[in-house]
Amino acid sequence: MIPLAIPNLSGNEARYLQQCIDSSFVSSVGPFVTKFEEMISEISGSNKTTATSSGTTGLHSALTAVGVKYNDLVILPSFTFIGSANSISHCGAVPWLFDVNPITWTLNVNQLHDALKSKTIRTKEGLIHKESGKRVSAIMPVYVLGIPAEMDEICRIAKDFSLPIVADAACALGMTYKKKKIGEMGADLSVFSFNGNKTVTSGGGGAVSGSSIELVQSVYHLTTTARVGSDYDFDRVGFNYRLTNIQAAVGCAQLERLEEFVQSKRNIQKQYNDALLQIEGISPFPDPAYGESSCWFSGVQVNSKIHKPVSEIRKELRANEIDARPFWKPIHLQKPYEHSPKESLDFTDNLWMDILTLPCSTSLSQSDQSKVILAVKNILS
């Protein structure tokens, strides 16, 4: 079976892990954690980074640090992984779900602007969603598949309504927006994931970066039990969300190869595009002119009015020993979020089932990719 996406661990991973064992630094303090954070700050153009146990726990801590509280609403595109929504729920808050833009598949900024204008009211307590009476306390844009959201517009709206931005950049490392790095795009905090299926992995892990050293420091404080001083004193309800030195050792070895990995992800996507876009009813994943996608996942959009359903295509691919899996079912169709407030989600409703992801491991060989292309062509013809 040609796998969908497996990690590439052929660099310094084993050597760095051995150093953890030899030095006995295996837990949440150690030179690799510090190095990992410095590397992410450098790569993302941020002033400071704190490492977390996952992308989801990074998002939870980041939302808490910008002031999201129990019973608040946090603006989120419905077309995302469930972890984005869960991080909001972990704050006791509720996602307010928005559609994505057909051109970019990221947060629809016109809908965002219109809804904030017509459905909220400013009070002493903050921005209140009129229908539910809940306070709106943050915006979480998602760089879905590694595609940059329209951040200039989102930042302008956020400023107009005095809302902080926590960007879900979980799969976006390597992406650029108007030649800027992720940390320079205007979000207060940007959150990365290093889960096993991401372009670079630490086994499991995450990181929160920002330009405000104070704000990132407060995320660090939250993730390390909110301890004050070296005795057992704590000044708020904190979390145990720190990355370990073992995970960071793998993460450092992976980050050393980020450029190479992103380049190979982009090459793989380009080859699929070159071979498959000539087929009627097949369109590419978005590649907005204002930026460069990190191409976390490769694939195509299949017009199901012309072709068989993607679920059927996947079944046939698997019969050809090519791994294929469904892509994210949006948040508003998930049981825990069926009652979340939402705007019209017409585009998201029609998009998600038409997405066909294709094998895109950085180690994918030319002959395996040719095999995938041939199989897809046969199935679609």
Ligand X SMILES: *Cc1c(COP(=O)(O)O)cnc(C)c1O
104 neighbors 144 (Cβ within 8 angstroms): no
Q: Which of 168, 323, 343, 354 binds ligand X (CB under 6 A)?
A: 168
Q: Which of 93, 128, 171, 208 binds ligand X (CB under 6 A)?
A: 171
Stretch that binds ligand X, among 9-17, 51-59, 130-138, 158-166 (CB under 6 A): 51-59
Dist. CA 31–CA 330, nearest whole Å: 39
CB of 197 to ligand X, least distance (A): 7
Q: Binding of ligand X at residue 251 (CB under 6 A)?
A: no
By C-beta, is 83 or 148 nearer to ligand X? 83
Which residue's beta carbon is nearest to the bound ligand X? 55
By C-beta, is 142 or 356 nearer to ligand X? 142
Q: Binding of ligand X at residue 83 (CB under 6 A)?
A: yes
11 neighbors 5 (Cβ within 8 angstroms): no
Q: Which of 8, 44, 56, 361 binds ligand X (CB under 6 A)?
A: 56
Token pair of 181 as six digits: 């790095």
20's CB contacts (< 8 A; 6+ apart) are 26, 30, 32, 245, 246, 249
- Contact positions with ligand X (CB under 6 A) in 204-243: 206
Nearest to 252 by CA among 37, 108, 81, 48: 37
Residue type, 101: N
CB of 95 to ligand X, least distance (A): 12
147's CB contacts (< 8 A; 6+ apart) are 104, 105, 106, 172, 175, 285, 286, 287, 288, 291, 293
Dist. CA 378–CA 369, nearest whole Å: 14
CB of 171 to ligand X, least distance (A): 4
φ, ψ at 368 (rounded to 5°): -65, -40
Q: Binding of ligand X at residue 170 (CB under 6 A)?
A: yes
249 neighbors 32 (Cβ within 8 angstroms): yes
Binding residues with ligand X: total (CB under 6 A): 14
CB of 52 to ligand X, least distance (A): 9
Nearest to 32 by CA among 47, 45, 20: 20
Q: Which of 81, 98, 285, 352 binds ligand X (CB under 6 A)?
A: 81
Q: Binding of ligand X at residue 142 (CB under 6 A)?
A: yes
By C-beta, is 127 or 359 nearer to ligand X? 359
Q: Which of 44, 108, 193, 294 binds ligand X (CB under 6 A)?
A: 193
DSSP 292: E
CB of 359 to ligand X, least distance (A): 18
By C-beta, is 16 or 79 nearer to ligand X? 79
Q: Which residue ranges make up the site for ligand X (CB under 6 A)?
A: 54-56, 80-81, 83-84, 142, 168, 170-171, 193, 195, 206
